[in-house]
Chains A and B, each alone.
Chain A
């Protein structure tokens, strides 16, 4: 995929070229939205909205990391969605356990490459991470999702959330500290494969 050429074509209004970019990035965009919003349907809506906004605002892209620029649109879409959610809180339709935790549908676990045990392990891990991410303030959550889950470097995260590098560094450290505390509560519940051995310090 020749990304710069596709971007140029898309900037001229070529929807086919833009859709090639959508196919390349839709997984990243959707998963980013999902980790920030912690809701599948809202994440799908935010991803679609992000791509639509990106197509309309494509002429404002002036080079650099296209992934970071695209993730900025989805981050903004997620912020909008969260603000809307705060104004109109909703009750989830999923059934709840006796502890009040939502019983998530196993639909998303369908992965033909993973064995049932692996799927279960991954589900435990994902549940723990999603729970802890959900407890973070939105601005910390966006930074940690972009840096640690999507693997963006600090500069790309700074572009995506429109904040200086120092802020990114600080938010990421705070987010990791909070996640550390939260995940410690799940330490025993996490599968052995995810209980990391003590590593050498440096």
Chain B
């Protein structure tokens, strides 16, 4: 009886797993019959193998399914995205244009205000001849405006009119100019376009966000239902 070599143990182990060819199996059986020391080794290897196969499987602590975030998958881009990206660009341009228009409008009105305010002081103070203010459209000095003679008229109802008599007008046409407050109320233009553009820009941006949000929500809902299945 000799101590089995590792080569024999390897063969015995492979024999247990059915990994030997028919010829190798026959040779091993003959070897075992001639060397009884191999029998307990074979039995112990078989016991170990059987014990290992009986190892209880533990329960998984949780599911290992992947989420789109873990897998690095982004929600699919909706079909309307190219159009919406253009819409966003247009909306941005409109927004900037609207802001610019409003700013320019405010600047122009802001320049005209002092001139309008100066008018009654000059006219009402009885200094019409020498300190006559100059009028112009858009706030600039009216350099080409001919000098005029003015008379302030006050009606019984309290309304004030200024009678303007242009010196350079040979026909002697006179016209009535209302006081600045009344003039402002009647002639100040109401520009609706900036508001329209602003509204359009808000609508386009809102639509872009809405479509994006709905698409993401549908994607997440689909994946959450898949995970719960």
Residue numbers of A with Cβ under 8 A of B are 13, 15-16, 18-19, 22-23, 26-27, 29-31, 34-35, 40, 44, 47-48, 51-52, 55-56, 108, 110-111, 122, 125-126, 129, 144, 147-149, 151, 153-154, 169-170, 172-174, 176-177, 179-180, 183, 194, 196, 198-199, 201-202
Within 8 A of A (CB), among B50-75: 50-66, 68, 70-71, 73
By beta carbon, the residue of chain A nearest B61 is A44
A110 contact set on B, CB distance < 8 A: 59
A170 to B10, CA, bound (A): 6
A201 to B49, CA, bound (A): 14
Interface residues on B, range: 35 or more
Contact digits for B9-43, partner A, Cβ 8 Å, 1 yes 0 no? 11011100101000000000100100000010011
A112 to B23, CA, bound (A): 48
A40 contact set on B, CB distance < 8 A: 58, 61
Q: Among the listed A15, A22, A129, A199, which residue makes an inter-chain contact with B64, where contact means beta carbons less than 8 Å apart?
A: A22
A179 B13 Cβ-Cβ under 8 A: no
A174 to B42, CA, bound (A): 13
B227 within 8 A of A: yes
B47 within 8 A of A: yes
A35 contact set on B, CB distance < 8 A: 55
A147 contact set on B, CB distance < 8 A: 17
Q: Among the listed A13, A23, A151, A173, which residue makes an inter-chain contact with B9, where contact means beta carbons less than 8 Å apart?
A: A173
By beta carbon, the residue of chain B nearest A121 is B56
B9 contact set on A, CB distance < 8 A: 173, 177
A180 to B4, CA, bound (A): 15
B45 within 8 A of A: yes
B51 contact set on A, CB distance < 8 A: 125, 129, 183, 194, 196
B14 A108 Cβ-Cβ under 8 A: no
A202 to B158, CA, bound (A): 131
By beta carbon, the residue of chain A nearest B60 is A30
B71 contact set on A, CB distance < 8 A: 15, 18, 52, 55-56
B216 within 8 A of A: no
Query: 28 A-B Cβ contacts within 8 A?
Result: A13-B73, A15-B71, A15-B226, A18-B66, A18-B71, A22-B63, A22-B64, A22-B65, A22-B66, A47-B60, A51-B64, A52-B66, A56-B71, A108-B58, A125-B54, A125-B56, A148-B49, A149-B52, A153-B19, A173-B14, A177-B9, A179-B48, A180-B45, A183-B47, A183-B48, A183-B51, A201-B39, A202-B32
A111 to B52, CA, bound (A): 20
B14 contact set on A, CB distance < 8 A: 169, 173
The 3 closest A-B pairs by CB, nearest first: A148-B52, A173-B13, A19-B65
What is the CB-to-nearest-CB distance from A68 to chain B, in angstroms, rounded to a whole number? 16
B58 A196 Cβ-Cβ under 8 A: no
A19 B66 Cβ-Cβ under 8 A: yes
By beta carbon, the residue of chain B nearest A17 is B226
